[in-house]
Amino acid sequence: MSETSPAARRPAGELEASVLAALWAADGPLTPAEVQSELGGRLARTTVTTILSRLHDKGAVSRSRAGRGFAYSPIHDSAGLTARRMRSELDKQDDRTTALARFVSELTSEDEQLLRSLLDEADPAGTQGAAGTVDGRHPGSGTTP
Amino acid sequence: MIFAVWLPLVMPLLAVPTARRLAASLPPRAAAWLLAGCAAALAACTAAALGLLTVAGALRLPPVAAFGHLERALPGGDAVVAVPAAPVAGALLACCAFAVARRALRHRAELRAARRAADAHGLAGDLCVLPEAAPDAYALPGRPGRVVVTAGMLRALPPAEREALFAHERAHLAGRHHLFLLAAELAAVCHPLLRELRSPLAYALERWADESAAARVGDRQVTARAIGRAALAARTHAAAPRPSAAPAATTGPVPRRVAALLGSDRAADRPRGRSLPGGRRLIAAALLACVTFSAAGAVDAAADLHQTVETAQGEQPGR
């Protein structure tokens, strides 16, 4: 009900997920303070620090000295290779719709245009325009493929 | 019997469009239950009808009749229809059983492969990040369920929208949406007309998860943007646009989902038939009638066959 701190009531697993996602989304290692601000300040710094060290204990992230504290980054593990092979195996199945509900589904060209106009209308200020971030992350992809 | 038994086989012709129409005017959760339930019920009736046709035909053959302790083979009054129909029905039934088993096994194999891929990476809570540039995200059912996301997807979304994405996937997991999809998939194997129920069901499930995510995040706009941005990111990353399963004449599912979240009064979800409140009830009644006829056809045929067999076994009918 209250707007104050929805984060505080969330299960620990979800908080861990959010923190790990922030590390993956970043370009380099992040300090707890940076993770906190990346998450919009919804979590207390101590909470973030605790979660980060827990993730480190589990082996999900690596850390390096940065000033008086640590900077954390996700582990690009060697197991990734195996996983990728399994994934491509998975991709070979002609359709995965049976097993997995995908977040991303196919877009036609008309869909894309419509979607962009819908999102532009929803966000007229253009602070984080729908096209902006996407194209910013993938330079040159703004033009029609 | 000879008429009733055909009823479940042809009824999807009417029931499928009716169910699609009704689902379009229902909220996502109800629509998902309706579509999956219809698919399962109609498929079960189809299988029952095929089974009955097979048995009825087989009992007209003296060796089978003897095996069933019948004093004589069933009378061949309608043998012209039943005898040629029986082998066909039997073959179809066998095909169905084979295809259903194969599909179910494949489903399990797919989930296993996906789970192995996810297991190779560290988990944080329920999240598994795949170190890949292509934006992708899905809910991986199991105990416990997992949210699998690629690094590319995480980089494409700002923090608030990442939360919306996670909430969406968690809604899939919590609602056990993969079972709905599986039910529809297996039903479609039993009767080709039931294939038409799969895409509206998939859409209803996505909408259901979208609405849960919006409620969870507390912001419909953020949720809508997350969906839109994720779809655009996936498209710009793909070398070539993926082949669309259904070449949508008007709009594909993603813009409709976004519009439904942004639109006032969720106008996008109710394209038509909403203006008449009685209309929906009428459609619901029609659908109920279709499914009831289908089930009644199967039951009637079964009762009829049972009686015929008892008569042939030398028992007095009506006792």
Instruction: Among B131, B149, B158, select the one facing A133 at the smallest CB separation.
Output: B158
pLDDT level of residue A84 (50, 70, 90 thresholds):
low
The CATH class of the A6-74 domain is: mainly alpha
DSSP string, B92-152: HHHHHHHHHHHHHHHHHHHHHHHHHHHHTS-EETTEEEE--SS--EEEE-SSS-EEEEEHH
Q: What ipTM describes this predicted complex?
A: 0.70
Is the Cβ pair B162, A25 closer than 8 Å? yes
Q: What is the dihedral of CA A145, B129, B111, B115, to 10 degrees?
A: 150
User: Does position A35 have pLDDT exceeding 50, yes or no?
Assistant: yes
User: Does position A137 have pLDDT exceeding 90, yes or no?
Assistant: no
Backbone angles phi, psi at A94, to 5 degrees: -65, -35
B151, closest residue in chain A (CA to CA): A24
Highest mean predicted confidence (pLDDT) among A33-47, A85-99, A102-116: A33-47
B149, closest residue in chain A (CA to CA): A21
Alpha helices in chain A (DSSP H): 12-25, 32-38, 45-58, 80-92, 109-122, 130-137
Instruction: Among B155, B240, B252, select the one facing A108 at the smallest CB separation.
Output: B252
Can you give the length of chain A in residues? 145
The minimum CA-CA distance between A71 and chain B, rounded to whole Å, is 18
Asked whether the beta carbons of B300 and B1 are under 8 A apart, the reply is yes
Across chain A, mean pLDDT equals 69
As a whole number of angstroms, the longest Cα–Cα distance in chain A is: 53
CA angle A100–A106–A110, rounded 5-degree value = 160
Higher pLDDT, B280 or A102: B280
Is the Cβ pair A21, B254 closer than 8 Å? no
CA angle A56–A62–A66, rounded 5-degree value = 105
Q: Is residue B14 part of a domain?
A: yes
Is the Cβ pair B241, A106 closer than 8 Å? yes
Residue-level pLDDT at B250? 38
How many alpha carbons fall within 13 Å on the CB side of residue B296? 6
Query: How far is the C-alpha of B250 from the C-alpha of B24, rounded, in Å?
Result: 15
The residue of A111, A116, A117 whose CB has the most chain B CBs within 10 angstroms, and thus the best one to mutate to test that interface, is A111
Mean pLDDT of B235-262: 59
Q: Is residue B319 part of a domain?
A: no
User: Does position A49 have pLDDT exceeding 50, yes or no?
Assistant: yes
Q: Where are the domains of chain A?
A: 6-74, 80-125
What sign for the dihedral angle of Cα B264, B21, B288, B45?
A: negative
Query: How far is the C-alpha of B193 from the C-alpha of B227, rounded, in Å?
Result: 31
Q: Is residue B318 part of a domain?
A: no
Q: For residue B140, what are the β-bridge partners?
A: B146
The minimum CA-CA distance between B127 and chain A, rounded to whole Å, is 5
pLDDT level of residue B1 (50, 70, 90 thresholds):
low
User: Could you give the number of structural domains in chain B?
Assistant: 1
The DSSP output letter for A23 is H
User: In terms of DSSP bridges, do strands B137-140 and A101-102 run parallel, antiparallel, or are they unpaired?
Assistant: antiparallel
Residue-level pLDDT at B215? 92
The residue of B115, B129, B181 whose CB has the most chain A CBs within 10 angstroms, and thus the best one to mutate to test that interface, is B129
Query: How far is the C-alpha of B76 from the C-alpha of B28, rounded, in Å?
Result: 50
Residue-level pLDDT at B82? 57
User: Does position B110 have pLDDT exceeding 50, yes or no?
Assistant: yes
Buried b (16+ CB within 10 A) or exposed e, A2-33: eeeeebeebeeebbbbbbbbbbbbbeebbbbe
Burial category of B203 from C-beta neighbours within 10 Å (exposed 0-12, middle 13-18, buried 19 and up): buried
Query: How far is the C-alpha of A60 from the C-alpha of A19, rounded, in Å?
Result: 11
Q: For residue A59, what are the β-bridge partners?
A: none
pLDDT level of residue B183 (50, 70, 90 thresholds):
very high
Chain A residues with CB inside 8 Å of B126's CB? 13-14, 17
Domain encompassing residue B297? 4-312
Burial category of B242 from C-beta neighbours within 10 Å (exposed 0-12, middle 13-18, buried 19 and up): middle
The secondary structure element, H or E, covering residue A64 is strand A61-66
Is the Cβ pair A93, B106 closer than 8 Å? yes
Instruction: Among B126, B232, B262, select the one facing A112 at the smallest CB separation.
Output: B232
Mean pLDDT of B266-285: 63
Residue-level pLDDT at B315? 67
Cα–Cα distances in angstroms (integers) from residue B230 to residues B111, B136, B213, in the given order: 23, 8, 15
Closest by CA to A8, choosing from A34, A42, A37, is A42
Q: Is residue B317 part of a domain?
A: no
pLDDT digit string, tens, across residues B6-41: 888 888 888 999 999 888 888 999 999 999 999 999
B104, closest residue in chain A (CA to CA): A98
Q: Is residue B197 part of a domain?
A: yes
